[in-house]
């Protein structure tokens, strides 16, 4: 099975704009430690790479090549570039992340597939805002057939050793995301993505995205409930026009959404000391802001995660 997936990924990477991306986040619940790691294979032996780390009481770190994100692809079989390596030990269950050491990851939820599990009402609402033509629906169909993404939440455990500091044990909770198929960054104008996990076990993803060729205001995402059940987001009041449309990212944001028949009010307070920037080297323009945030669910439940802002 793993060999078949590797062959499929290699075949997809032969396509123009092809992508095979893995992305991990992890946040400590007892302090301000976090890790963000991403490797995305691209054609012609290159990778998109992100690596950010904060160890509470020690400091904040990022890959020395940042804000540039382009590195050479160092392996055909696993995700490896810029000294960062990500590989699966057990498909959709256990992964190994290493950068002069290793951090192991184990799942705590099942997989959410954006193709199969997203709620149809979010797409209906987005399509209703666009002019309908045969070409429009052909573009929508092509996009759905060419790009796939799934996510699940879990826990990373490991040790971090930094020069002149004692070895630190980490236990972090966050998301694993796998995207593959075709992704052309030049077709994405803007998006805001919120990833948050709350102390009661709830986990949520909300993305608002503008892709001019298909949907200029699509909201998509999900909630994992404390009992492990999942539901696609049905409705949200989130709007790109009200979320740093002028390029100025504020300290606080509030959004509401419904999923699984329940209403959620989420507030985010961004940590401006931990908002690293990465430039899109594939297009020559475009910038990602990866902003760490403290969250609150329905005014009561504390949470941790990030808000990611992309501008082309």
Over residues 59-87, the mean pLDDT reads 89
Q: What is the model's pLDDT at position 13?
A: 45
Question: Would you say residue 98 has pLDDT above 90?
Answer: no
pLDDT at 2: 44
pLDDT at 106: 86
Is 103's pLDDT higher than 70? no
pLDDT category at 16 given cuts 50, 70, 90 is low
How would residue 260 be classed by pLDDT, with cut points 50, 70 and 90? very high
Question: What integer pLDDT is reported at residue 74 of this predicted model?
Answer: 85
The stretch 294-300 carries a mean pLDDT of 97
Confidence of residue 160 (pLDDT cuts 50, 70, 90): confident
The pLDDT of residue 121 is: 96
Say which range, 110-124, 150-164, 192-206, 285-299, has the weakest mean pLDDT: 150-164
Residue 131: pLDDT above 50? Answer: yes
Residue 272: what are its φ and ψ, rounded to 5°? -65, -15
Choice among 41-55, 81-95, 130-144 with the minimum mean pLDDT: 81-95
Residue 254 has pLDDT above 70, yes or no: yes
Cβ–Cβ < 8 Å for 26, 172 = yes
Give 268's pLDDT tier (boundaries 50, 70, 90). Answer: very high
Whole-number Å distance between alpha carbons of 193 and 133: 29
Which residues does residue 219 pair with via DSSP β-bridges, in sequence order?
Answer: 208
More confident residue, 255 or 183: 255
Nearest-angstrom CA–CA distance, 162 and 37 = 17
Average pLDDT over residues 230-255: 96
Q: pLDDT by residue (tens digit) across 28-67?
A: 988 889 999 999 999 989 999 999 998 988 888 888 889 9
Q: Which residue has the tokens 């990465």?
A: 278
> What pairing do the DSSP bridges indicate for beta strands 230-236 and 252-259?
antiparallel
pLDDT band at residue 91, thresholds of 50, 70 and 90? confident
Nearest 5°: the CA angle 277, 279, 283 is 155
Q: What is the pTM of this model?
A: 0.88
Which pLDDT score, from 0 to 100, does residue 93 have? 79
- Residue 267 phi, psi (nearest 5): -115, 145
Question: What burial class does residue 100 get, using C-beta atoms within 10 Å of its C-beta: 0-12 exposed, 13-18 middle, 19+ buried?
Answer: exposed
- Report residue 126's pLDDT band, with 50, 70 and 90 as the boundaries: very high
CATH T-level assignment (fold) for domain 2-311: AttH-like fold (2.40.370)
Comparing 93 with 23, the larger pLDDT belongs to: 23
Mean pLDDT for 157-171 is: 85
């Amino acid at each position: 099975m793993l060999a078949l997936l590797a062959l499929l990924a290699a075949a997809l990477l032969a396509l123009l704009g092809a992508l095979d991306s893995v992305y991990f986040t992890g946040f400590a619940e007892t302090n301000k430690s976090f890790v963000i790691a991403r490797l995305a294979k691209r054609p012609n032996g290159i990778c998109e790479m992100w690596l950010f780390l904060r160890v509470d009481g020690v400091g904040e770190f990022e890959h020395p090549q940042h804000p540039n994100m382009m590195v050479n692809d160092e392996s055909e079989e696993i995700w490896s570039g810029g000294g960062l390596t990500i590989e699966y030990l057990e498909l959709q269950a256990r992964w190994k992340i290493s950068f002069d050491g290793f951090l192991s990851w184990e799942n705590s939820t099942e997989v959410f597939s954006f193709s199969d599990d997203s709620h149809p009402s979010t797409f209906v609402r987005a399509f209703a805002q666009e002019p309908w033509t045969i070409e429009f629906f052909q573009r929508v169909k092509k996009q759905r057939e060419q790009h796939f993404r799934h996510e699940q939440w879990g826990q990373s455990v490991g040790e971090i050793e930094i020069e002149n500091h004692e070895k630190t044990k980490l236990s972090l909770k966050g998301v694993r995301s796998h995207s593959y198929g075709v992704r052309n960054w030049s077709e994405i104008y803007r998006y805001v993505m919120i990833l948050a996990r709350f102390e009661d076990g709830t986990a949520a993803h909300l993305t608002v995205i503008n892709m001019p060729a298909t949907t200029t205001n699509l909201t998509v995402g999900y909630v994992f409930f404390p009992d492990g059940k999942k539901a696609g987001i049905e409705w949200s009041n989130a709007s790109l026009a009200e979320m740093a449309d002028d390029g100025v990212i504020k300290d606080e944001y509030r959004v509401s959404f419904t999923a699984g028949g329940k209403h959620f009010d989420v507030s985010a307070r961004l940590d401006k000391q931990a908002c690293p920037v990465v430039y899109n080297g594939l297009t020559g323009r475009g910038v990602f802001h990866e902003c760490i945030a403290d969250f609150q669910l329905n005014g009561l439940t504390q949470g941790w995660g990030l808000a990611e802002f992309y501008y082309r």
